[in-house]
Chain A
Amino acid sequence: MARLLQIFGFLSVLFRGGTLTFGSLTIGGIVFLNFVARRANSQSEAVNKVCLRWIRRAAAALAVMQMAYILASSLILMQSADMTMGDVSGANFVLAGILAIASALTIAAISVVQRPRIYAVMLAPAALILVSSVMTSHAMARLDYRFPLAVVTALHQGATATWLGGLFYLLISIPRSPDNQFARQLIARFSKLALISVAVLAAAGFTLSLAYVGSIPAIYGTSYGIMVATKVVLFGTLLLLGALNFQIARSPSGGSVIASLKRFGEAELGIGITVILTAASLTSLPPAIDLKNDRVSRQEIAARLVPQIPRLASPAVQDLPEDVYAAEVTAFNGGTLSSASFVPGQAGTRPNTPAEKSWSEYNHHWAGLIVLAIGLLAFLAQTRHFPWARNWPLLFLGLSLFLFLRSDPETWPLGPNGFWATLQDPEVLLHRIFSLLVIGLAIFEWRVQTGRVATEGPRLIFPALVAVASGLLLTHSHSLGNIKEEVLAELSHAPLAILGVVAGWSRWLELRLPAENKVRDRMAWLWPTCLVLIGLLLLNYREM
C-alpha cells in the first residue's frame, strides 16, 4: 500500500504542474483572443480559428488534469485516513477542482461556436479557473490576511497566464496572419499587454515574497526561499528575452524581424513553462516565513562551497544499506526517523549514512568530470579548428553507462538483487530506461554534430531535451521539514537547473535564429559555457 501511495503522491505533483500549465494556456488564449486578435484593425478568420482550436485543446487537457488531480488526492486521503468518497467530497481541493473542470468544459463547448460574440463570454469561465487555482494556493490556508493574499495571488497567476499563455497564441498566430502588416499589429498589441502583465506579475510576486519569505536569511536558508530565488533568476532571463523582442518589434520592417521574434518567443515560452513548473513545486512547500528553525546559515553555505578535491574513489557496495526502502521502514517502526512532517507514502526521513553520502558525492564528481569534458570539447568544436572535438556527444555514452551502474547499487550488476528485480521495482526500471534514453540522445546528437543529419527538426532534439530535463529538476524539492542537509543539496541543484535551462535554450536559439541576427553568435558560445559551469558545479557537489 505504501508503494501505491508513493506513486499517487508523485502523480499529484505531476497533475498539479499540468493543471497550472494548461490553466495558463486556456486563460492566456482567451485573453489573447479578446484583447489582441479581436482588437486588430482587420480580422483574420485563420488566426481566430487556430486560437479557438488551441483554447479548446488546452481547456480539455485542463479538465483531464484536474480530474486526475482530484482522483489522485482523494485516493491518497481515502487510503491514508480510512475515509469514504463521501467523506472526501466536501474537501476544499475537490470543490476547487470541480469548479475548474466545469469552467474548462464550458470553455471547450463554447469554443466550438465560431462567432466573435462568444469570445467575451469565455472570459467568465476563464476567471473561474483562476478562482479555482487560488482556492488551492497558499493564500487559502493562511491564518492572517487571507483575502488580500488571495487577491494578490489571483493577480500574480492571471498576469502569468496573460503573458506566457498569450505568448503561445502569438506564436501560432504569426504564421497564419494574412500579411506581415497584420502580424506586426498582433505583435505590437501583445507587447503592450505583456508589458502590463509583467508589471503586475512583478509587483504581485514581490508582495507575495514579503508575505511568504519575509527576510533575506529565509531566501538562502529554506527550500521555499531557494525556489523563489530560482524563479526570480528565470524571470530575469525572460525579461531579457522580452526586451530583445520588444526592441526587434520596434525596429523597421525587415525580412528577418518576424523570424527573430518567433524564435525568441519560443525560448521565452519554454522558459516560461519552466517557471510555471517551479511555481507548482512552490505550492507544495511550506512558506519560508513559517520555518524558523534549522535554517541554513551563510557560514554553513560558505563552508559547503569551499572547493575541495573531488571524490574519485568509491565506498564499497557492502557499506550501503541493502534495501534503502526497507531501511526506512525499519527506522520508522523503530521510531528513529526524523519527527518532521512527511507525506503519505513515505515512511519519513532517514538520515543518509556516511557511506551513502560518499557514494552520492562520487557519482556527482565523476558525472561532473564527464560533463566538464563535454563542455570543453563542445567549446573547441565551436572554434571550427578542431573537427575531432565534434564527437563530444559520444561522452554521453560514458555517462549513461555510469548512471546504469551506479544509480541503484542494490540491484544487478552491483548489488544482491538480480536482473529481474529491475523489472519489479518501478524506480529502478525507470532509471534503466533513462540510461537507455541518454544513449539514444548521445547517438542522435553525435549524428547532428558530425553532419550526418541535415534537416532542422532532429537537430532540435538535444537542446529541447536538455531544457526539459533541467526544468524538471526544479519541479521537485528534496526538503522535508526544512532539514538542513536537504536545503544545502537544493542550493547546489538550483544553479544546475538554471544553467541547464539556459544551455538548452541558447543552443535552440543558435539553431533557430536567422543568420543576420547577431545574438545567434553569442548563443553559440553561451551553451558550451553553461555545460562547463555545470561540470564544475557537479565536481564541487558535497553532502558532508
Chain B
Amino acid sequence: MRLGYTVRLAVCLFASAAMFFVVLPAIAHAVLLESSPSINTTVAGPSIPIKLRFNVRIDATRSRLTLVAPDASTQLLAISKDAPADILASQAQGLIPGEYRIRWQVLASDGHITRGEIPFKVTQP
C-alpha cells in the first residue's frame, strides 16, 4: 500500500478532475405525488386551497411555496403548520383569472432540498 508521491498526486489530480467531469448537481429526492391544483388544470378563483403531497416527511418550517401571478409578480404563501408530515398546505386568495404557477421548494427530513413548479389556470367562479 506504500504508493509513491507521484502515484498519489496523479490519482488525486485525476480524481478531482474526474469528479468535476462526471458529477452533476445533487439529484432531486422528494417526489411530488399529487397536488391541488394539479399540473396544467383549471380552477375557479378567487380563493383556492393549495395542497402538495410528497413521498417523504417534509420540514414544513424550512419549505417554501411561492405563487407566480400572470404579471410575473411573486407572493410567498403562508404554509399551514397543522398539515400531516408529508403535506404542504396553504391558501391563495384574491386571484384574478389568468395563468399562475406555484413554485415549491421542500427540505425533506433527511436533509435533501428539492424544488419544482405547478402551472395552472384560474377562471371566474
Contact = CB atoms under 8 A, between A and B. Distances in A.
A84 B24 CA distance: 27
A342 B10 CA distance: 34
Interface stretch (A55-63, A102-110, A476-484): A476-484
Interface stretch (B43-51, B90-98, B102-110): B102-110
Interface in B1-57: 1, 3-4, 6-7, 10-11, 13-15, 17-33, 39, 55-57
A202 to B, nearest CB: 24
Interface stretch (A179-187, A307-315, A376-384, A458-466): A458-466
Contacts of B105: 80-81, 344
Given A290-B31, A340-B116, A475 B23 contact: yes
A285 interface: yes
B110 A434 contact: no
Nearest to A335: B119
Contacts of B4: 455, 457-458
A245 B102 CA distance: 57
Among B22, B85, B108, B111, the one with the most A-chain Cβ atoms within 10 Å of its Cβ is B111
A10 B108 CA distance: 18
Among A77, A426, A440, A444, the one with the most B-chain Cβ atoms within 10 Å of its Cβ is A77
Interface residues of B, number: 53
A433 interface: yes
Given A80-B105, A172-B1, A469-B18, A461 B10 contact: yes
A340 B28 contact: yes
B118 A284 contact: no
B21 A341 contact: no
Secondary structure type dominating chain B contacts: mixed
A142 B24 CA distance: 26
B9 to A, nearest CB: 10
Nearest to B111: A93
B39 to A, nearest CB: 5
B105 to A, nearest CB: 6
A53 interface: no
Interface stretch (A41-49, A133-141, A236-244): A133-141
Given A92-B111, A266-B1, A335-B101, A343 B17 contact: no
Contacts of A305: none
A346 interface: yes
Given A77-B107, A143-B85, A339 B119 contact: yes
B7 A464 contact: yes
Contacts of B13: 437
B112 interface: yes
B22 A472 contact: yes
Interface of B: 1, 3-4, 6-7, 10-11, 13-15, 17-33, 39, 55-57, 59, 61-64, 85-86, 101, 105, 107-119
Interface of A: 5-6, 9-10, 12-14, 73, 76-77, 80-83, 87-88, 90-93, 96, 135-138, 140-143, 171-172, 262, 266, 281, 283-287, 290-291, 335, 339-346, 348, 426-427, 430-431, 433-434, 437, 440-441, 444, 455, 457-458, 460-461, 464-465, 468-469, 472-473, 475-481
